[in-house]
Structure 1
Amino acid sequence: MSATTPDLEADPSAPEHRADPHPLLRDMRERAPACRRRCPSTGRVLWYVTRYADVQRVLLDPALGRQLDRLPPEAAAFHRRFEHDPLAMVRRNVFNLDPPDHTRLRRLIAPAFGPRTVTALERRVHTVVGELIGAMAAGGPEADVIEALALPLPLRVVAELIGFPLDDLDRLRGWSDDMLRSRDVTRVRRAGVAFVAYASAKLGERRARPGDDLLSRLATSPELSRAELVSSVFQLLLAGDETTVNLIGNAVLELLRHPGQLRRLRERPELIDSAVEEALRYNGPVGHSRPLYALTGTEIGGVPVACGDVVVPVLLAANRDPAVFDRPDTFDIGRTPNRHLGFGHGSHFCLGATLARIQARAAVGALVRRFPGLTLAADPARLEWTPELFLHGVRRLPVLLKEGAGA
């Protein structure tokens, strides 16, 4: 870095920025194409990339990769000193791999999330949403949108898509909460081990007696190792659903924080599609994409990045870049065009994006229709957010319910 651009002292993931990271991200975006921060506890160098065009280029750059074992041995050994991941057993999936392994796995999984398959699921999504919204109404007058709607919806839908018995949903939900929402390393590891045993057993059953579901197609594929099989199921069922949970929660929160836009959606329900896209842009469910390793020396917007440094493409910042978006800090459910990067970019563009959109449109649309008096039941400034920037959403979203006469 030049003398005029010192290292970044603020940590974008620090608790004081979690509720609203955008002021800091705006400062970073205006400051430089890439802002360097040296992690005090490890000494690792992180480059935060915040401008739209630079984030796009970084996500396409072959000089950057997700796999530690592609680094030169000394650089890889340095990072391994700090890689104490209690869920390492389920990380060999498309999210964490580079070509050619990424290409091979994605080719096998992608058909299950193709437009024809996902569109066929849309009726089921609306049925599940109706059941969940009905349960919220019966249990009113207050409900937690995350607990009652955003969390159970994607787990039920994707479990059916994969081929897991619905009787196992409570167990799957418990493991999901422990692995992805607990910060207790012991609980995370214990749940991970239990899930691996469960998934391995189900894969074995499908291998012996294949059915017409994704789990059977994965189990009978000769191209996947055991680790890749279990890791892929983990990503699809548990890790993947967090994006949808946060998307639904953030969309409802922003509508409630912007009553004029909520009123506009009620008056023009056909705006639900663009409302979900605007939620993805304005305060999306993923703060940054998977951090990337510089496999060789490279540069970002003219800023040199050394081999072994970590590059963090910040989607939240790119999606408010005034070079691309008019009035970027305005929540506008009718925004068009809206070329956001909420689901990433390039070869790692989210596999489940179409399904996530369908679920968010169904859930948010039904909630707005059923409860015309919907209001927040908590101070927005006191909501608890996810502890890291990567997954960006509220842990709870208490609301007061008021049904309409025609509900």
Structure 2
Amino acid sequence: MTTPDTHTPPRLPWDSADPYPFYETLRRNADIVWDDTAQAWLILGYHAARTVLTDKSWTSDPRANRAINADTVLNSAVIDANMLFADGPTHHRLRSAVRDVFSRSFIDGLHTGVDAICHDVISAIPAGKPFDFMSQIALPLPIAVIGAWMELDAEQCTSLREHSPAIIRLLGGLTDEDDIASGIAASAALIADLLPAAADRRAHPGDDLLSFLAADPTLSLDEVVITALLVAVAGHETTANLLGAGLIRLLTPSPDGNRPADYIDASDPAVCTELLRLDAPVQATARTATADQTIAGVDIACGEAVLVCIAAANRDPAIYAEPNQFHPGRPGPAPLSFGHGAHYCLGAPLARLETSTALHHILARKPELVGTATWRDTAAIRGPLRAPAVLTQ
């Protein structure tokens, strides 16, 4: 058993721009290692990661983590009504409310609308003029998609974009108390913005996602809004960061000197899968043991936290040959980028659709990188802050 430091808030220990050398160094010792900075066990191996994500004896509720001062930062409806942090019947009820609208067949029906939004956003960028891919394409595009799906007005979309970074820190790791407090405050601001809209959609439903949620009698209005925000923020951030990191990878020459962008078909699902494996937007997700556990020969006590290092598991050399290389269609199990088990990401089909469609339109314009990308400082969520590029056509 380990003893958490109650005076120093836990934080994620890796470099947000390039965490992979850190993972590889740790993996030389074991697939599971204790980290004093995170005050958690880091799960690095694929099989151990998948076991924790699947096993019901681990909880997603951060209040079970004894390293976090739950009394001061976690007594919030944002936690209580959030399916990411719920388990058992509560998680099933909240997830069931949106399961149908995230079925593959339903998402396939959104293709025409997503394609039109991608065309409009990307065609607005003039050829030959350097621009920042993140601020002008990667970030506004998924906001436009989710805004149209929920029928949000321009002010609500702006508020969503402004508050998303703080909320995604809350959703991403739940180890830093300052980030938790900031995320709860940002969530409260967005909830206040959307509660009147949710109440109106419950009384006067339309065909949008917010109306669909509001029509569910099992959900309170708070739960309607928090679920809608989870869908919006997680979907927006995941897609934006995957697009940014994915474009950089596709435009960067591989060891043989060829750029993947010059030979891949962006519409091939295997391309999106391999980008997700190599550049998972969500680097890690937290769980807490609800009973004493033994994973891969390591004893973990009840109340101890683990960080399932998804990005490390996706590059486990015991699972994937040449794990750091881009090989679409490679053999092996699916990467854990969207999680696994009961908390598998409901928005995965939409994120795949947006990413593949956007990359198809972007690569048709023959993009090139024209400077050095800078990366966000969010350790749990990895993506570029800026990505200078130019469209040559």
TM-score w.r.t. structure 2 length? Answer: 0.87
Corresponding residue of 2:59: 65
**Structure 1 residue corresponding to 2:49, chosen from 50, 55, 62:** 55
Check the 8 A contact 1:90/1:234 in 2, yes or no. Answer: no
1:377 aligns with 2:370: yes
Which ranges in structure 2 are unaligned for 5 or more consecutive residues?
3-9, 171-177
Q: 1:82 to 1:387 in 2, by over 3 A?
A: farther
Corresponding residue of 2:292: 297
Amino acid of the structure 2 residue aligned with 1:392: R
**Structure 2 residue corresponding to 1:30, chosen from 21, 28, 31:** 28
Q: 1:214 to 1:262 in 2, by over 3 A?
A: farther
Corresponding residue of 2:6: none
Corresponding residue of 1:157: 145
How far apart are the structure 1 equivalents of 2:279 and 2:266?
Answer: 21
1:394 aligns with 2:388: no
SS of residue paired to 1:386: coil
Q: 1:88 to 1:375 in 2, by over 3 A?
A: farther
How far apart are the structure 2 equivalents of 1:177 and 1:12?
Answer: 17
Check the 8 A contact 2:372/2:388 in 1, yes or no. Answer: no
Q: 1:186 to 1:268 in 2, by over 3 A?
A: closer
Check the 8 A contact 1:129/1:366 in 2, yes or no. Answer: yes
Corresponding residue of 2:305: 310
Which segment drifts farther, 341-350 or 160-169?
A: 160-169
SS of residue paired to 1:313: strand
Corresponding residue of 1:126: 115
Corresponding residue of 2:280: 284
Which stretches of structure 1, 4 residues or more, deviate above 6 A after TM superposition? 181-187
Corresponding residue of 1:220: 215
TM-score w.r.t. structure 1 length? Answer: 0.84
- Deviation of the 1:292 alpha carbon: 0.7
SS of residue paired to 1:31: coil
How far apart are the structure 2 equivalents of 1:364 and 1:67?
Answer: 36
For residues 6-405 of structure 1, what are the structure 2 equivalents within 5 Å?
13-14=12-13, 17-39=15-37, 45-68=39-62, 71=64, 79-80=68-69, 84=73, 88-91=76-79, 92-137=81-126, 141-165=129-153, 168-177=156-165, 179-180=167-168, 191-258=186-253, 263-269=259-265, 272-289=268-285, 291-337=286-332, 339-371=334-366, 374-380=367-373, 383-388=374-379, 390-403=380-393
Check the 8 A contact 2:266/2:356 in 1, yes or no. Answer: no
Q: 1:337 to 1:61 in 2, by over 3 A?
A: closer
SS of residue paired to 1:395: strand
- Deviation of the 1:369 alpha carbon: 1.1
1:77-115 CA distance string (max 9 Å, x none): x63258636x95433222111111111111111111111
How far apart are the structure 2 equivalents of 1:349 and 1:331?
Answer: 24
Alignment length (residue pairs): 377
How far apart are the structure 1 equivalents of 2:206 and 2:54?
Answer: 37
Q: 1:105 to 1:274 in 2, by over 3 A?
A: same
1:164-188 CA distance string (max 9 Å, x none): 2356423332333564489999976
Amino acid of the structure 2 residue aligned with 1:211: G
SS of residue paired to 1:79: coil
Q: 1:250 to 1:308 in 2, by over 3 A?
A: same
- Deviation of the 1:262 alpha carbon: 6.6
Check the 8 A contact 2:143/2:161 in 1, yes or no. Answer: yes
How far apart are the structure 2 equivalents of 1:188 and 1:342?
Answer: 22
1:297-323 CA distance string (max 9 Å, x none): 111111000111101111111111111
Amino acid of the structure 1 residue aligned with 2:102: F
Q: 1:295 to 1:253 in 2, by over 3 A?
A: same
SS of residue paired to 1:400: strand
- Please tell me the root mean square deviation across aligned C-alpha atoms, in Å: 2.9
Which ranges in structure 1 are unaligned for 5 or more consecutive residues?
3-10
SS of residue paired to 2:35: strand
Check the 8 A contact 2:252/2:259 in 1, yes or no. Answer: no
Amino acid of the structure 2 residue aligned with 1:123: T
Amino acid of the structure 2 residue aligned with 1:375: E
1:126-170 CA distance string (max 9 Å, x none): 1111111111226x5111111111111111112222332356423
1:339-390 CA distance string (max 9 Å, x none): 211111111111000000010001112111112xx2222235xx223322x1
Check the 8 A contact 2:84/2:343 in 1, yes or no. Answer: yes
How far apart are the structure 2 equivalents of 1:103 and 1:116?
Answer: 21
Which segment drifts farther, 230-239 or 356-365?
A: 230-239
Amino acid of the structure 1 residue aligned with 2:385: R
